[in-house]
Amino acid sequence: MIGKLLGNRYEILEQLGGGGMALVWKGKDTFLNRLVTVKVLRPEYASDQDFVRRFRREAQAVASLSHPNIVSIYDVGQENESHYLVMEYVDGESLKELIRREAPLSPARVIQLGRQIAEALEHAHENSIIHRDVKPHNILITRSGRAKLTDFGIAQASASTLTHTDTIVGSVHYISPEQAKGEPAGPKSDIYALGVVLYEMLTGKVPYQADGAIGVALKHIQEQPLSLREINPAVPEDLEKVVLRAMDKLPERRHKSARALGEDLVSISEETKNMVPYDQEDEQTRVLPSPSLIKEEARAKAAGTTENPAMRKQMKPAAWGMLALLVVLLIGGALFALNSYLNVAEAEVPPVVGMKREEAERLLRERGFNVTINERFDEKEEKGVVIHQDPGAHEVVKKTRIILLVVSKGPDLVEVPDVTGRSFDESKLTLENEGFQVEAPEQVYSKDIEADKVAEQKPAGKTKAPRGSRIKLYISKGPEPQVQQVPNLVGLTQEAARAELGKVGLELGDVLSQAESFDYLSGQIIAQQPGAGEEAEQGTKVDIILSKGPGPAAKDVSVRITVPNDGQTHEVKIETEDVRGKYYPYIRTHQPGDNVAESIRLYGKGKVRVYIDGHPVDEKDV
């Protein structure tokens, strides 16, 4: 892709990253001579009309926006099967990278960035556009500290007629409760997501963590976040109230607009300051008996406490006898049942944790116990092994007691995405979205994978691994450099040395110093490090020391030649070799029988050689 020209205008320079739908490249607008960001839909989705429609929706959404805190979109196009967007290039980093490096951020900085993001959302909402995926990854921070909202890839114009599906769109750690329930997102959903971003900036962590995406979504719906001030006591109380109001479970209790949230960050409103935290239990429906039932129950109790004389008069002796017999039978039955219960044999519960399920059941039933089984995933024990029992081992209980066994289903294995060939940031995001943890990467040499891309992963892609397990990524440093012998640079100029080093893949380094020399002219190399003949990896820089003169004294040498008198012309060439290297101060064509006399200058010790038609005819040392 690098070097490709899209639309006969946008040259692809390097890859910046990528998301679920598209790869992001740094490019150059060859018409306007400016850097741009080019987002190219992944090839596997180019044939999917739904993805193409969502991809183009981003262009339509952002094209209608013009705000200093929103990344501008310049162009949209298609090159063969590649659909692409051309956007403003932001020289900086994502807010997520800033949080990872510096969190918790100072309250003053959080207020500054939060207000800018709120202003960007307000502008989008005024144009009937809901972002629906506000998160630190989609907020870029320029080198001057300005926040810019980007990636409206799943934005939805609220006035459109797009059908809402049961697919929850958005990053689960920043999703609003209403989105988690599958309800359509609105402006208040963006406000909630911004509240989560503010929470993360102030504490360095997202408010809800769970084993999987569904668990996190449920916590957004059911649980209250931990107090910011418990995590970071430096957070002002008023600022905490603003953030928690933005994150309220009920949309109607949140700020009425993104602008109101931005204003609240600067100066808290009385409404926010006096708002009582939402207690979900107060909203639970309680079923109470109706007033008529309560009255009837009261009358029944009153009737039970008042003896009816008429009825007493109607009771006959036979009836009294039957009643007495019934009471005796009931008492006897109760005593029998109590005796049966109290006199049930007891036994000690054997330890079965670590046994196979079949073996544990057999042992317990042999001791007279009944058994019930529950199963759950477990990362440590293989499938079918008992991981918990209740009652515990060695407890003495009645044999009628049911023993609960929890049996391992083994690790919750899921397929590991194959991220080889992708950038580290894109790979980390892909793996974390699947519930894996990513360890700090290591760098390795690779002859097949270009530098700064994932060369290897453990476990390998498309294999099964326990959900939540750790993935190790190895980043390519490019091909392993070859070891070369350092050439002799003494006596060469810097340009000549650079050319000589380039032949073996080495580079000219720094000029360490200049020293007086009577053997070499000014500007010539008199020493080097590493030295000539030493071994060094390709790419190694060789540092040098230069002569600052005066160098060796000049000498003039007289050269006399007689051209053969054979009726033919001949080329006469004089070669000198001294501290400067080899030179040819004299090259001419002469008539037969000519006598040539030349004065040749050398510096220091050297040689003079004479050639006629390329054949040596004389040599002298000087």
Which tokens belong to 97? 């990278």
d(CA 545, CA 517): 11
Which tokens belong to 253? 């209790």
d(CA 368, CA 477): 66
Task: Yes or no: say if 513 and 527 are a contact pair by the CB < 8 Å rule.
Answer: no
Question: Which 8-state DSSP code applies to residue 169?
Answer: P
CA angle 21, 25, 30 (to 5 degrees): 130
Catalytic (active site) residue 248: no
Q: Tell me the one-letter amino acid at 405.
A: L
CA angle 191, 116, 187 (to 5 degrees): 20
d(CA 409, CA 466): 12
Longest CA–CA separation in the chain, Å: 172
d(CA 355, CA 361): 9
In b/e form, how buried is each residue of 474-496, taking b as 16+ CB within 10 angstroms?
bbbebeeeeebebbebbbbbeee
Name the burial class of residue 340, with classes exposed (0-12), middle (13-18) and buried (19+) by CB atoms within 10 angstroms of its CB: exposed
H or E segment and range at residue 70? none
Task: Yes or no: say if 187 and 442 are a contact pair by the CB < 8 Å rule.
Answer: no
Annotated catalytic residue, options 133, 248, 264, 578: 133
User: For the chain, how far is it from start to end, CA to CA, in angstroms?
Assistant: 60
Task: Yes or no: say if 121 and 258 are a contact pair by the CB < 8 Å rule.
Answer: yes
Omega before 487 within 30 of 0, i.e. cis: no
Name the burial class of residue 371, with classes exposed (0-12), middle (13-18) and buried (19+) by CB atoms within 10 angstroms of its CB: middle
- Give the number of other CB atoms < 10 A from CB of residue 510: 10
Catalytic positions are 133
